[in-house]
Amino acid sequence: MDNIQEYKDKVNKTLKEFLEKKLKEDGRYSKSIRQLIENITEFNLRSAKRIRPLISIFTYKCFKDDERIIKPSICIELMQAYLLIHDDIIDKADLRRGKSSMHKIYEKQKDEDFGISMAILAGNLCASYMYETIIESDFNDTEKLNALKYISWTADRENYGQALDIIPNFKDIKEKDIWQIYELKTATYTIQGPIYIAGALANAPKEKIDKLQIYAYNIGTAFQIQDDINGIFGEIKDMGKPIDSDIKEGKKTLIIVKTLEFCNKQDKEFIMKNYGNKNINEEDIEKIKEIIKKCGAYDYSKQKLNEKIQEGKKSIQNLEVREEGKKFLLDIADYVNSLA
Amino acid sequence: MDNIQEYKDKVNKTLKEFLEKKLKEDGRYSKSIRQLIENITEFNLRSAKRIRPLISIFTYKCFKDDERIIKPSICIELMQAYLLIHDDIIDKADLRRGKSSMHKIYEKQKDEDFGISMAILAGNLCASYMYETIIESDFNDTEKLNALKYISWTADRENYGQALDIIPNFKDIKEKDIWQIYELKTATYTIQGPIYIAGALANAPKEKIDKLQIYAYNIGTAFQIQDDINGIFGEIKDMGKPIDSDIKEGKKTLIIVKTLEFCNKQDKEFIMKNYGNKNINEEDIEKIKEIIKKCGAYDYSKQKLNEKIQEGKKSIQNLEVREEGKKFLLDIADYVNSLA
């Protein structure tokens, strides 16, 4: 993954330029709109892995060797910002990428309601900006339209996934519901969306995209399994958010569903009582972690993660596409595995 | 306006069909997603004037005489739903079109936070649906792309307008700020957006669209002046929301800014103290109304409304376009005037 940093820098530069152009064009309306676009810019430019645009770029490189993909690749970063800003309202998260979440930034200016209101609007703006990056890109109209279709498809599914995530209580949830949420909420916009969009822009043949889709589903769900393991066992410096938030929120994850399935009656009662408790203490958090490891749910999750990654890699191993692109996609699969 | 009802029925039918298709396609994910799409459908199909799609349809008819415009004309109804659902969260409005606002529908299922969360997602879904109506329409790729560009432009400006609307306190606001809000928040998506989108799909010549834009700005702002007069002096049956909500919210309107400018010191103090007071009583509401009429702000607003309508009509009176379309646009101008 030698040229990753180079492309990451290009993504950051393109994102910055796009938002600076918005500020110049729309900032003229008023001081408060300038401030709003500046806040959106600061949020988008916070240090981040840029995995999603990189996936778009290297999927494109599976088929074509030009740099036109860089501009529209940022659409998926803007989608990310749109979803994170709204998710943080929903999850009442104070931190994002190590700094204040958008509603917290605005809450300081007035009150909680104002914070939520402005964050709703900031997220909405990122949503329309994401379409604009495709519309303004250097592709023909048919390629752009196809890419826009997948943007919308991705946004729809992501919102459905988010709804599923907040609707049922974790106590009633089954493993199959978790896979549904993982697919809609993560695989879609982390891997599938970036691949579909880039495939559309590259005019890639359908049978190759279908193979890439098997890859995308598997690596996308693996990504979420890993994220949820880190959500409980990770370090704060890696997450940019409090590491106990998944436990306090009662987040519905594979690892917790399997824990409830595998552990003994007494431990199950303990989890039922304490997982999702906003005021849980350090000691009880540690006890939950112990139960997860002891009962085998941690190992089960790790194993599933590994299976998904192997399955994903296998689906593209023999795919006849440009080597540069394929190599990245295979590497990213290993990278997900190494995120622990 | 003989064939208005006919086209309104077609808009309703098309909107219903589009949402039924979404339910069929995406409802399969789970019961809660089905319920979410059903709630979005019910919200969209509530009795409404459908002025925005009608403006799109008849702008298109200024240039072309076919029915392909009907399908994409519903994009602006979905935008309306998207914005209203989010606005109602921001304004804490319980009612919309005479029924529960979206967050109130979901609040009943759990609590206030859940209501807000689900309404954010429901609004987001309407936002991506609106792009899809254009993407799936029966136009060529260039026409569709141009229309999508204006969808995004409209959504951007509307969100900026909404931000302006909630940012400053009404006590500091000047008449020029009001015109800025009116343009961004109302003229854009009520008239300008529908006209630009239809113009793009009709491949209309730029010089004619420019004339239509003068019309759009004037009639759009007139529409908001009228809406704000009705927001204080209207009847509940016309509004579908509590008539005292503008006063209780302290909504920033031309009529209130001019009242503060025109009225005497004592009345100004009364307004400053009571406008925006959520617990204001009947008697004080009546007193505010009296002050508005007495000081001349009511007449000033009515006069501005009339000027805007005449200005708007004048800009297209001699425009060489198909008569059917032009007649509707002239009629709609008079209709705005008659909404009082």
Q: What digits encode the pLDDT tens for the residues A161-185?
A: 999 988 866 567 889 889 998 999 8
Q: What is d(CA B203, CA B42) in angstroms, rounded to the nearest whole number?
A: 34
**Cβ–Cβ gap A131/B148 under 8 Å:** yes
**Cβ–Cβ gap B145/A141 under 8 Å:** yes
Q: What is d(CA A320, CA A62) in angstroms, rounded to the nearest whole number?
A: 9
| Predicted TM-score (pTM) of this structure | 0.92
- Asked if residue B246 lies in contact with residue B232, where contact means CB atoms within 8 angstroms, the answer is yes
- Residues in B touching A184 (Cβ below 8 Å): 29
Of the candidates B92, B125, B141, the beta carbon closest to that of A159 is on B125
**Cβ–Cβ gap A128/B167 under 8 Å:** no
- Chain A contact present for B61, CB below 8 A: no
Q: What is d(CA B151, CA B131) in angstroms, rounded to the nearest whole number?
A: 7
**Cβ–Cβ gap B135/A152 under 8 Å:** yes
**Cβ–Cβ gap A160/B29 under 8 Å:** yes
**Cβ–Cβ gap B152/A144 under 8 Å:** no
Q: B-contacting residues of A 115-154, CB under 8 Å?
A: 116-118, 120-121, 123-125, 127-129, 131-132, 135, 141-142, 144-145, 148-149, 151-152
Handedness of CA B43, B45, B51, B52 (dihedral sign): positive
pLDDT digit string (tens) for chain B, length 340 residues: 568 899 999 999 999 999 999 999 999 988 899 999 999 999 999 999 899 999 999 999 999 999 999 999 999 999 999 999 999 999 999 999 999 999 999 999 999 999 999 999 999 999 999 999 999 999 999 999 999 999 999 999 999 999 998 886 656 788 988 998 899 988 998 899 999 999 999 999 999 999 999 999 999 999 899 989 998 998 755 555 566 778 988 888 999 999 999 999 999 999 999 998 889 999 999 999 999 999 999 999 999 999 999 999 999 999 999 999 999 999 989 887 776 5
Q: How far is CA B125 from CA B72, B120, B299, in A?
A: 17, 9, 41
Of the candidates B124, B145, B159, the beta carbon closest to that of A135 is on B145
Write down the pLDDT at residue B226: 92
Write down the pLDDT at residue A138: 97
Write down the pLDDT at residue B251: 87
Q: Nearest residue on chain B to A142, judged by CA atoms?
A: B141
Q: What is d(CA B93, CA B84) in angstroms, rounded to the nearest whole number?
A: 10
Alpha helices (H) along chain A: 4-26, 31-45, 51-61, 70-73, 75-90, 102-107, 112-135, 141-166, 175-181, 193-201, 206-233, 236-239, 245-249, 254-262, 265-274, 282-294, 297-317, 323-338
Write down the pLDDT at residue A171: 66
Helix B193-201 / helix B141-166 crossing angle, nearest 10 deg: 170
**Cβ–Cβ gap B163/A33 under 8 Å:** yes
- Chain A contact present for B292, CB below 8 A: no
Tell me which residues of chain A have a pLDDT lower than 70. Answer: 1-2, 168-171, 236-243, 339-340
* Helix (H) or strand (E) segment spanning residue B96: strand B95-96
Q: What is d(CA A157, CA B29) in angstroms, rounded to the nearest whole number?
A: 10
